Amino acid sequence: MPIYEYRRPDGTTFEIEQRMTDDALTEDPETGVPVERVLHPVAIHFKGKGFHNTDYGTRRRNRELEKSASDGADAHDAKTADKAKEKKEAKGSGKAGSKEKPAAPKKKD
């Protein structure tokens, strides 16, 4: 027979063994105070074709993710700094040697 957990209004809980066909308790059998059944989420693990191995974490996988995250952040920062440096250099050298068209004169109405 399954064991069900119930909660009293003061937050304390108790367990009772009941048949699945029995109705849920509305009162504590010892004290007579109103109670409600406590439901817990069920753990589900999907297996089989169509589910990826990487969907489920392992210790090794967690270490790999942490390492790649720290390496990735460092690499990203370095790449961003390089791009900013290249932009500055292109901007500085581009102004001196570039020929821009003069602005066209405005037409008077």
* Nearest residue to 30 (alpha-carbon basis) of 12, 3, 48: 12
Residue 73 has, within 13 A of its CA and on its CB side, a CA count of: 5
Grouping H, G, I as helix, E, B as strand and the rest as coil, residue 37 is: strand
Residue that has been written with the tokens 């993710």 in this structure: 65
Q: Residue 28 in contact with residue 14, Cβ under 8 Å? A: yes
DSSP state of 55: G
In the chain, what are the domain boundaries?
3-38
List per-residue pLDDT tens for the chain, 109 residues long: 899 999 999 999 999 999 999 999 999 999 999 999 999 888 887 777 666 666 565 666 667 777 777 776 666 666 777 777 777 777 766 555 555 666 666 766 5
Evaluate if pTM is beyond 0.75. no
